[in-house]
């Protein structure tokens, strides 16, 4: 043996010792140095992968290792799925953990290179699972689902992005993930976020068009009419418009809308100005211009009916 010849170390699940003497095998080599080798029946590869169906000669008799561009951990995961094997070692189980989005993305990329539907199907199952649905990277889940053409999964992931500030260009993590989207997928996501912001603004200002089927806030509550004397305060409309504008800013940051009403929102200067405004009439000392409780309930009602139909 030459001094620089590499010793062939086989993965335990795909070793020479596990071979059936009645079955023909091919050897696959991972990209690392030193590499890990995998002994796999060629008929399994040809039946599960369009790539191997094209490159493996069914009449091949030699077992010269076929070099691959994938690392050993990814090959363990993919070949275990294609061959119906279950990893047993702790290390292999960690590599095959599909609760990790990095692993899921790598497996999907490999499914595309190998033209292996079984791998793509496993990715779809993983991205639909609860742990992945609760991960902190819904944009990445959305990107993967749109690439694969999985419409329902893309819609579910898009809804989970409503807690993210897509238009905050100083948020490096969010912006980096957005760069991974196709132009079409990115524009659809932007439109989805903006639609919720603009719809709520129209609801609050009473400007929703009849054909949009949007709930409109009762404008009589925000016209600034004093309950006692019936006079309309000249500054009331301006205060309400400023408050609506502040809500739109918040909806840009978090279009889910769950932070528009609450203790944090009550501390906004625009909110304080509305809730502290009083009628200036001589017979109405201390009479509030706006009914805070009713208005907040109306705002919550509008938010609860915002469109979440991602198209």
Q: What b-and-e string marks burial along 248-267, b requiring 16 or more CB atoms within 10 Å of the CB?
A: bebbbeebbbeebbeeebee
- The pLDDT of residue 133 is 52
| Residue 31 backbone dihedrals phi, psi, to 5 degrees | -80, -15
Between 99 and 148, whose confidence is greater? 148
Indicate if 216 and 154 belong to the same structural domain: no
Indicate if 31 and 173 belong to the same structural domain: yes
Separation of alpha carbons 226 and 285, rounded Å = 11
Q: For position 107, which CATH number holds? A: 3.30.710.10
Separation of alpha carbons 30 and 251, rounded Å = 48
For the segment 89-100, the average pLDDT, to the nearest whole number, is 84
Task: Select from 162, 189, 216 the last residue of a domain.
Answer: 189
Alpha helix (H) residue ranges in 183-291:
183-205, 236-253, 263-266, 269-276
Indicate if 78 and 171 belong to the same structural domain: yes
Q: CA of 242: how far to CAs of 193, 198, 211, 225, 296, in Å?
A: 21, 15, 27, 18, 16
pLDDT category at 95 given cuts 50, 70, 90 is: confident
Indicate if 221 and 159 belong to the same structural domain: no
- 1 is a domain residue: no
Domain total in the chain: 2
Indicate if 139 and 254 belong to the same structural domain: no
Q: Does position 214 have pLDDT exceeding 80, yes or no? A: no
pLDDT category at 23 given cuts 50, 70, 90 is: confident
Indicate if 152 and 200 belong to the same structural domain: no
For residues 72 and 36, the answer to whether their CB atoms sit within 8 Å is yes
pLDDT category at 292 given cuts 50, 70, 90 is: very high
pLDDT category at 57 given cuts 50, 70, 90 is: confident
149 torsion bin: left (phi>0), alpha (psi -120 to 50), beta (else): left
- Token pair 């989207």 in the structure block, residue: 181
Indicate if 202 and 180 belong to the same structural domain: no
Indicate if 235 and 108 belong to the same structural domain: no
Residue pLDDT, tens place only, 172-193:
999 999 999 999 999 999 999 9
Separation of alpha carbons 88 and 107, rounded Å = 19
- 38 is a domain residue: yes
Indicate if 116 and 66 belong to the same structural domain: yes
- 2 is a domain residue: no
Residue pLDDT, tens place only, 264-289:
999 999 999 999 998 877 778 778 88
The partner residues of 29 in beta bridges, in order of sequence, read 37, 67
Indicate if 235 and 254 belong to the same structural domain: yes
- 242 is a domain residue: yes
Indicate if 185 and 198 belong to the same structural domain: no
- The domain containing residue 71 runs over which residues? 9-189
For residues 148 and 157, the answer to whether their CB atoms sit within 8 Å is no
- 69 is a domain residue: yes
- 309 is a domain residue: no
Task: Select from 140, 170, 189 the last residue of a domain.
Answer: 189
- 83 is a domain residue: yes
Indicate if 58 and 162 belong to the same structural domain: yes
């Amino acid at each position: 043996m030459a001094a620089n010849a590499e010793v062939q170390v086989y993965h335990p699940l795909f070793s020479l010792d596990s071979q059936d003497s009645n079955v023909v095998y091919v050897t696959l080599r991972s990209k690392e140095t030193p590499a890990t080798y995998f002994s796999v029946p060629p008929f399994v590869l040809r039946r599960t992968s369009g790539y191997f169906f094209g490159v493996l000669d069914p009449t091949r008799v030699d077992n010269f290792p076929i070099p691959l561009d994938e690392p050993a951990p990814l090959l363990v995961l993919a070949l275990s799925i294609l061959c119906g094997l279950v990893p047993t070692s702790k290390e292999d189980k960690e590599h095959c953990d599909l609760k990790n989005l990095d692993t899921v993305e790598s497996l999907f990329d490999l499914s595309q290179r190998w033209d292996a539907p079984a791998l793509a199907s496993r990715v779809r199952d993983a991205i639909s699972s609860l742990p992945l649905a609760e991960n902190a990277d819904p944009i990445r889940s959305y990107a993967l689902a749109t690439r694969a053409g999985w419409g329902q999964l893309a819609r579910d992931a898009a809804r989970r992005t409503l807690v993210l500030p897509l238009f905050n260009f100083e948020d490096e993590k969010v912006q980096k993930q957005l760069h991974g989207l196709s132009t079409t997928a990115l524009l659809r996501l932007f439109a989805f976020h903006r639609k919720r912001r603009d719809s709520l603004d129209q609801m609050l200002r009473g400007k929703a068009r009849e054909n949009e089927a949007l709930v409109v806030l009762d404008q009589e509550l925000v016209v600034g009419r004093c309950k006692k004397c019936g006079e309309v305060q000249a500054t009331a409309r301006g205060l309400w418009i400023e408050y609506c504008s502040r809500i739109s800013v918040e909806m840009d940051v978090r279009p889910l809308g769950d932070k528009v009403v609450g203790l944090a929102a009550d501390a906004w200067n625009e909110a304080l100005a509305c809730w502290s405004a009083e009628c200036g009439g001589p017979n109405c000392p201390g009479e509030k211009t706006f009914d805070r409780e009713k208005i907040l309930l109306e705002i919550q009602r509008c938010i609860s009916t915002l469109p979440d139909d991602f198209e």
